[in-house]
Amino acid sequence: MTVRQSIVFNGDLGSGKSTVSVEIAKRLGLRRVSVGDLYRQMAQERQMTALQLNLHAELDQAVDGYVDQLQRDIAASGESLVMDSRLAWHFFTDALKVHMITEPTEAARRVLARPSGPAESYTSLEEARAKLRERSESERSRFIVRYGVDKARLRNYDLVCDTTRADPEQVIQHVIDVYEGRLGADVLRAGQPLLLLDPTRVYPTEDVSTLRGLWDSDAAEAAGSGEEPEPLSIGYTGEYFFVVDGHRRLSAAVRAGLPMVPARLVAEVDEPVVGGMSAIDFFTAQARPGLIHDWEDAHGITLPLPEHALLGGGPVLAGEPGAGA
């Protein structure tokens, strides 16, 4: 069993970082440090909202400097702990680096439902979604300018968890299983991030008609059998996840109602998928409106149409690899 020294959490606001990190710290007997709590305290002391403090920090390096030095000191101490921070993955080397994501409207709904202080208060779902996005983009821009790192790049992390439909207990157990080497060990040893994705938010790149003859109870039973399934091969555009290989396994996971399915990242954004095509270009070419609609109809789900699909979709690529068993 391989156990890393610490666990550091980064992720979307409303993704459940606090809930998950608090419980994991309890179960593993580790101290927990929350930089988010520290920033909220700093914002309240300055009579600012969290977003206002983020914008202020873009001009005043002292705000980040204080928090950065705190994280460097903790990382250098060698203490095993749980860190809830959107930049700890940059400062910690010997740690399991976890990035948590959630569908934006669901994230806004969660933030609205929890008690809020003067540093973080919203009057509507629409305002919460807009402000959370603005705050996240402010942080991202600041980190790129100040540190030369992009928090949105998935290869910064060991584990990416989509918590949109997963309950906290499922997420907690999956993170502990990865931390203790029981889940995704082969993917991590290969130097790839392990993705635990909501299968209803992953886009197809092959016509669903090619799968109809493979749909049987065995596939659905295998998806929910309790054994670790073979990871899907996934591309990421920076906004959308899509299948490069593994449509049958993805279909089985959707039909079995699974909230998370394991996957490996094969390409993100400008990285090549096949034939030198980038993840963005491959997705634009393959994920056509009709293909997406057919997948939705076959599985009883809804996938928001990407911008390129709304504009008419891309060309059909002949002879590209499709779904794996």
Per-residue pLDDT of the chain (325 residues; tens, 9 = 90+): 445 589 999 988 889 998 999 999 999 999 998 877 776 666 666 676 766 756 655 656 666 677 777 778 888 888 899 999 888 899 898 899 999 999 999 999 998 887 665 446 788 899 989 988 888 888 889 889 888 999 999 999 999 999 999 999 999 999 999 999 999 999 999 999 999 999 999 999 999 887 765 554 444 454 445 566 799 999 999 999 999 999 999 999 999 999 999 999 999 999 999 888 999 999 999 999 999 999 999 999 999 999 887 765 444 333 333 333 3
Say how far apart CA 151 and CA 181 lie, in whole Å: 25
According to DSSP, the β-strands at 95-101 and 6-11 are: parallel
Q: How far is CA 207 from CA 11, 125, 286, in A?
A: 33, 35, 9
CA torsion, points 120, 144, 273, 295, in degrees to nearest 10? Answer: 20
- What is the predicted pLDDT for the residue at 325? 31
Where b means 16+ CB within 10 Å and e means fewer, 108-118 reads bebbbeeeeee
- What is the predicted pLDDT for the residue at 105? 93
- What is the predicted pLDDT for the residue at 314? 45
**Tokens matching residue 95:** 């740690």
- Find where tokens 């079995």 sit: 256
198-310 is classed CATH 3.40.980.10 = no
At the second CATH level, the architecture of 6-159 is 3-Layer(aba) Sandwich (3.40)
Q: Which residues contact 258 (CB under 8 A, 6 or more apart)?
A: 199, 223, 224
Residue 47 parent element (H or E): none
**Tokens matching residue 79:** 């203490």
Amino acid letter, residue 143:
F
How is the chain split among helix, strand and coil, in percent rounded to 5? 50, 15, 35
**Whether the Cβ atoms of residue 226 and residue 220 lie closer than 8 Å to each other:** no
**pTM, two decimal places:** 0.84
**Whether the Cβ atoms of residue 298 and residue 181 lie closer than 8 Å to each other:** no
Q: Is 225 left (phi over 0), alpha (psi -120 to 50) or beta?
A: alpha
- What is the predicted pLDDT for the residue at 87? 84
Helix (H, G, I), strand (E, B) or coil at 288: coil
Same fold, 6-159 and 198-310: no
User: Could you tell me the strand order of the sheet in which 241-245 lies?
Assistant: 31-34, 81-84, 6-11, 95-101, 159-162, 194-197, 261-268, 232-236, 241-245, 202-203
Count H helices, E strands: the chain? Answer: 14, 10
**Whether the Cβ atoms of residue 230 and residue 249 lie closer than 8 Å to each other:** yes
Domain positions in the chain: 6-159, 198-310
Amino acid letter, residue 247:
H
- What is the predicted pLDDT for the residue at 302? 95
Helix (H, G, I), strand (E, B) or coil at 272: strand
Q: Is 275 left (phi over 0), alpha (psi -120 to 50) or beta?
A: left
